[in-house]
Structure 1
Amino acid sequence: MIISSPNPEVFELPDGRLRYIEHLITDSDTLLSRLKTSLNWYQGDVCLFGRNYKTPRLQCWYGDKAYTYSKVRLEPTPWPPLLQQLKNVVEEISGYSFNSVLGNWYQSGQHNMGMHADNEPELGQNPVVAMLTFGTPRPLQFRHRNGQDRFTITPADGSLLLMEGPIQHHWRHGINKSKKITGERISLTFRFIF
């Protein structure tokens, strides 16, 4: 794993902050391949408006504690060496500690993530989420709950994006479907569960 020198770009948003390092990991093609074959990917379930749906992507959950979102409980799974190594890098660069990671594998532009906030009670008062991206860049859209403010960033292959401060209380984020995108993307979102 080759790490470039971090030079973060900071985006001060109303009610939140993003820190972005565009090319943190330089051998990301190798890591993408290893992540695809070494992790326990599955199509999860999500409960929206009282109905159960299959997630429109593959996912995996690793960490020290269980996590519940959209009425789905993810049980703790021991860290494999590759994820432990990536977690150590993210902790060193970010200055935060993490005890879990949610992986999302978007196999094509038809895989997506609905607008949401990572604001479950077990994430604490102002949760920090650190997202490593591997593969085809996809626009990540942010919408403020005030209905007016919007922000879009397209995390590059091998990048790190930190969502900090009260952003999860005031903003929702998601990834839309796209017929133009054929490549795959894996995101690893590190978080701390209390």
Structure 2
Amino acid sequence: MIVSNRNPEIIALPDGRLRYIDQFLTETDTLSHTLKNSLDWYQGNVHLFGRRYQTPRLQCWYGDKAYTYSQVRLPPTPWPPLLNQLKALIEDASGHSFNSMLGNWYQHGQHNMGMHADNEPELGENPVVAMLTFGTARPLQFRHRNGEDRFTITPTDGSLLIMEGPTQHYWRHGINKSKKVTGQRISLTFRQIL
């Protein structure tokens, strides 16, 4: 695994801030293969609008503390060595500490992520989420809660996107379904649970 020494692109949003490093990691094919075959992927459930749904993607969770979102509680889970390595690299690049990681594996274009914000109380006042992407690039949509401002970024294979400041309070983000996408994408989202 080779880490890029590129400086991040700063993306100033109204009421938010992103930092993006294209090709943060190179030689990602082996990493992606290892992540697919060594992490404990499962298809979970979420509670939305009073009903329980199967998540339209595979997930995995590793962390020092429990995490609850959409009425789903994820218990503490020990870190595999590879995730510990990746966490250390991301902490060094971002200047933030992380104690948990939620992974999402989009196996095809029908796998998606609804619009949401990572703003649960246990993530603190201004949650920082660092997202490492492997595989097929898919547009990540951002929508401001004011109903007007929108932004789209398409994280590429090996890229690092850091969402920080008040971003999670004012913006929601998600990945739409696509009939054109046939490739797979893995995103590892690192966060700090208080």
Q: TM range, normalised to the smaller chain?
A: over 0.9
| 1:148 alignment partner AA | E
Aligned position for 1:119: 119
| 2:142 alignment partner AA | F
Deviations 1:109-132 (A, max 9, x none): 110000000000000000000000
Percent of aligned positions with the same letter in both sequences? 78
Aligned position for 1:162: 162
Measured in 1, the distance between the counterparts of 2:169 and 2:93 equals: 24
Measured in 2, the distance between the counterparts of 1:7 and 1:28 equals: 19
Measured in 2, the distance between the counterparts of 1:4 and 1:173 equals: 26
SS of alignment partner, residue 37 of structure 1: helix
Q: Which runs of 4+ in 1 moved over 2 A?
A: none
Aligned position for 2:81: 81
1:131 aligns with 2:94: no
Measured in 2, the distance between the counterparts of 1:126 and 1:55 equals: 26
Q: Within 5 A, what are the aligned runs for 1:1-194?
A: 1-194=1-194
Deviations 1:29-88 (A, max 9, x none): 111100000000000110000100000000000010000000000011100000000000
SS of alignment partner, residue 88 of structure 1: helix
| 1:5 alignment partner AA | N
Instruction: Using structure 2 for the length normalisation, give the TM-score.
Output: 0.99
- Aligned length, in residue pairs: 194
| 2:44 alignment partner AA | G
Maintained 8 Å contact 1:47/1:53: yes
Query: RMSD of aligned C-alpha atoms?
Result: 0.4
Instruction: Using structure 1 for the length normalisation, give the TM-score.
Output: 0.99
| 2:31 alignment partner AA | L
| 1:146 alignment partner AA | N
Structure 2 unmatched runs, 5+ = none
Measured in 1, the distance between the counterparts of 2:181 and 2:113 equals: 15
SS of alignment partner, residue 109 of structure 1: coil
1:25 to partner: Cα distance: 0.2
SS of alignment partner, residue 151 of structure 1: strand
1:6 to partner: Cα distance: 2.5
Measured in 1, the distance between the counterparts of 2:119 and 2:169 equals: 7
1:27 to partner: Cα distance: 1.1
1:91 to partner: Cα distance: 0.3
Maintained 8 Å contact 1:6/1:93: no
Measured in 2, the distance between the counterparts of 1:58 and 1:185 equals: 11
SS of alignment partner, residue 169 of structure 1: helix
| 1:82 alignment partner AA | L
Maintained 8 Å contact 1:131/1:162: yes
| 1:93 alignment partner AA | A
Measured in 1, the distance between the counterparts of 2:137 and 2:29 equals: 13
Structure 1 unmatched runs, 5+ = none
